[in-house]
């Protein structure tokens, strides 16, 4: 058996390989979604099963979970074709075969040792534009994947170390921004090259057998620890449900429902009561749904190592006709909104049995927003970005203000970068008062973004959620504020007919787009919050005095301090 010191050293070395691959791509990518927002990820995967062995700490965890299905698809294709060779690299973005949506391109490379595959290295990154009906590809009214972008099946980008230029030409010809695509592609290739060098050096230093033993032990420890955590929870079934605003086509809510059962050291997550597959682009593939479960469970059980062993004691049940398990050509471009709702219902279910482990729900939408047009020299520009919001209150304190979605460790692209790259200016970038869900621990605040166009004309679209249903709190905490989007026309501001999704918005120079993003859900009852903390929130502008009284039952005096007798009367009256 491998000794603990060697295991710890190898764990750190393996994680460092994935982290260096992350850093290589972030520093070399052309598009801000990867370079600034870090919408990418890298990992090491099992040679036989495709299961996650090691993930980078800087990329998107949702990618790492989904990538195990992608690597498994590569393994199956290589076995079928019988032509896997050293130096081969596969590329694809098929969202139904280990993917997420068409913007996310995956590169998978085998690591050979003495003619045998030791493991696979994988890279995934969100490319700026991959064709389709709208620049940036988050088409909120797509009814099939062909309206969302080009779909590339599993093909070899490199054959025995030689790049296939015809594949690169096809990719470039299908993008509005071929230069950005070419830069991001080469960044991912370089990340895989570095990963191969680092992995080869590690294997040469410690030996294949020792590293294999370490990887097996790390997986076994994750599975054992996960099972032990589950065994500490009381047996039973705990249910939760939440809703998507609509699918972008029909303005009707879509239910995401979970029945979470615990028996001994096993957990079953049954999503059978969720909505059926829908016409619009909020469907997701089964691999994406399972990856969402992986991410949520890792949020809840933070002490479990991040590898495929996490899911060994866990079963996920999703019917074939669910919007959580669709096949081609159902649109899946807005997958981010649906996986966020999966994470929310898992948090709400776990809160019933282990409230000390969960948070109020985060803001629950990436608010994909794109503006595109032509500059005066007729060159095309496409600004695609996502935006932040509040995180949920948690057992130890208030939620994070203006954070990114819990599917990732990505960052929000800075205003300075976006203004430098595109003909826009942010006339407002601020926290949104009263947006955090009331609670003993308040939800974090959302944000207000207002964007002014500096070019003559532009087309815009928005793909968001939480316009109808605010992010839930837990243990009696209140919901965060709902999402609000407005766009300016000559006669004033308008809201999208479907609240959170719209395509074909035309604006002219000096007109604005305005996003007011949700806050996080609260943790615990608001009338249990320390009145001094409420007064501090008011002084900082996080909560208005009026909402302090209605939401928290705290009355302030003329100096902004808590009026304790009046507050006690308010809270006592509320209990009677």
What are the sequence ranges of the domains in the chain?
4-222, 359-529, 531-575
Q: What is the 3-state secondary structure (H, E, C) of 121-169?
A: EEEEEECCCCCCCCCCCCCCCCCCHHHCCCCCCCEEEEECCEECHHHHH
Band (pLDDT 50/70/90 cuts) for residue 575 is confident
Beta bridge partners of 52: 45
Residue 514 burial (CB < 10 Å; 0-12/13-18/19+)?
Answer: middle
Q: Tens digits of per-residue pLDDT, 207-260?
A: 999 999 999 999 999 999 999 999 999 999 999 999 999 999 999 999 999 999
Q: How far apart are CA 151 and CA 110, in angstroms?
A: 23
Token couple for 461: 């679209």
Mean pLDDT of 140-165: 97
The pLDDT value given to residue 142 = 96
Q: What does R_g of the chain's alpha carbons equal in angstroms?
A: 24
% the chain with pLDDT above 90: 91
Instruction: Establish whether the linkage from the previous residue to 142 is cis, with ω within 30° of 0.
Output: no
Q: In terms of pLDDT, which residue wins out, 152 or 409?
A: 152
Beta bridge partners of 394: 397
Q: Report whether 446 contacts 466 (CB < 8 A).
A: no
| H or E element at residue 501 | strand 501-508
SS3 223: helix
- In 4-146, DSSP assigns E strands to 40-46, 52-55, 89-92, 104-113, 116-126
> Angle at CA 34, nearest 5°, toward 28 and 40?
105
Provide the whole-model pTM: 0.94
Residue 458 burial (CB < 10 Å; 0-12/13-18/19+)?
Answer: buried
Query: How would DSSP label each residue in 259-291?
Result: EEEEETTEEEEE-TTSPBP-SSTT---HHHHHH
- Cα distances from 223 to residues 51, 230, 554, in angstroms, run 13, 11, 47
Q: Report whether 128 contacts 384 (CB < 8 A).
A: yes
Is the pLDDT assigned to residue 62 strictly greater than 70?
A: yes
Those residues with Cβ within 8 angstroms of residue 377's Cβ, 6 or more apart along the chain or in another chain: none
Those residues with Cβ within 8 angstroms of residue 459's Cβ, 6 or more apart along the chain or in another chain: 135, 371, 372, 373, 504, 505, 506
Band (pLDDT 50/70/90 cuts) for residue 551 is very high
Q: How far apart are CA 522 and CA 345, in angstroms?
A: 15
Q: How far apart are CA 434 and CA 443, in angstroms?
A: 10
Virtual torsion, Cα 148, 149, 153, 157, nearest 10 deg: -150
- Cα distances from 40 to residues 21, 115, 124, 125, in angstroms, run 10, 30, 5, 4
Band (pLDDT 50/70/90 cuts) for residue 412 is confident
Q: Tens digits of per-residue pLDDT, 339-357?
A: 999 999 999 999 999 999 9
């Amino acid at each position: 058996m491998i000794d603990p010191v060697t295991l710890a050293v190898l764990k750190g070395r393996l994680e460092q390989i994935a982290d260096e691959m992350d850093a290589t791509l972030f520093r070399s990518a052309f598009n801000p979604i990867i370079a600034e927002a870090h919408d990418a990820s890298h990992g090491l995967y099992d040679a036989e099963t495709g299961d996650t062995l090691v993930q980078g700490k800087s990329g998107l965890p949702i990618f790492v979970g989904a990538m195990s299905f992608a690597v498994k698809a590569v393994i199956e294709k290589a076995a079928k074709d019988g032509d896997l060779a050293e130096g081969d690299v596969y590329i694809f973005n098929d969202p139904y075969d280990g993917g997420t949506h068409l913007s996310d391109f995956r590169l998978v490379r085998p690591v050979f040792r003495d003619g045998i595959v030791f493991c696979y290295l994988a890279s995934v990154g969100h490319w700026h534009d991959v064709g389709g009906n709208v620049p940036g590809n988050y088409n909120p009214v797509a009814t099939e994947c062909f309206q969302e972008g080009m779909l590339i099946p599993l093909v070899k980008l490199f054959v025995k170390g030689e790049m296939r230029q015809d594949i690169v030409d096809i990719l470039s010809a299908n993008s509005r921004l071929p230069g950005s695509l070419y830069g991001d592609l080469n960044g991912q290739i370089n990340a895989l090259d570095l990963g191969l060098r680092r992995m080869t050096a590690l294997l040469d230093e410690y030996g294949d057998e020792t590293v294999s033993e370490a990887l097996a032990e790390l997986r076994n420890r994750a599975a054992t620890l996960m099972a032990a955590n589950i065994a500490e929870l009381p047996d039973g079934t705990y249910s939760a449900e939440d809703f998507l605003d609509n699918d972008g086509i029909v303005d009707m809510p879509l239910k995401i429902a979970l029945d979470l059962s615990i028996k001994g050291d096993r957990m079953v997550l049954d999503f059978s009561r969720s909505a059926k597959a829908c016409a619009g682009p909020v469907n997701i593939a089964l691999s994406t749904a399972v990856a969402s479960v992986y991410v949520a469970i890792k949020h809840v059980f933070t002490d479990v190592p991040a590898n495929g062993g996490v899911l060994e004691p866990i079963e996920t049940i999703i019917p074939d006709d669910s919007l959580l398990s669709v096949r081609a050509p159902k649109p899946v471009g807005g997958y981010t909104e649906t996986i966020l709702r999966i994470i929310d219902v898992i948090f709400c279910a776990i809160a019933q049995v282990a409230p000390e482990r969960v948070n109020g729900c985060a803001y629950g939408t990436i608010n994909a927003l794109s503006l595109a047009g032509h500059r005066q020299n007729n060159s095309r520009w496409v600004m695609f970005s996502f935006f932040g919001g509040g995180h949920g209150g948690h057992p130890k304190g208030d939620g994070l203000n203006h954070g990114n979605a819990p599917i990732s460790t990505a960052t929000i692209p800075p205003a300075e970068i976006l203004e430098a790259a595109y003909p826009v200016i942010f006339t407002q970038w601020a926290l949104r008062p009263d947006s955090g869900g009331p609670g003993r621990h308040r939800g974090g605040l959302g944000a207000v973004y207002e964007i002014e166009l500096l070019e003559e004309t532009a087309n815009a679209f928005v793909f968001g959620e939480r316009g109808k249903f605010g992010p839930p709190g837990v243990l009696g905490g209140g919901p965060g504020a709902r999402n609000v989007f407005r766009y300016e026309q000559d006669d004033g501001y308008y809201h999208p007919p479907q609240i959170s999704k719209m395509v074909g918005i035309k604006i002219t120079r000096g007109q604005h787009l305005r996003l007011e993003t949700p806050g996080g859900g609260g943790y615990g009852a608001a009338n249990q919050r320390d009145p001094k903390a409420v007064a501090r929130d008011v002084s900082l502008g996080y909560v208005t005095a009026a909402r302090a009284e209605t939401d928290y039952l705290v009355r302030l005096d003329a100096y902004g301090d808590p009026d304790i007798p009046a507050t006690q009367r308010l809270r006592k009256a509320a209990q009677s």
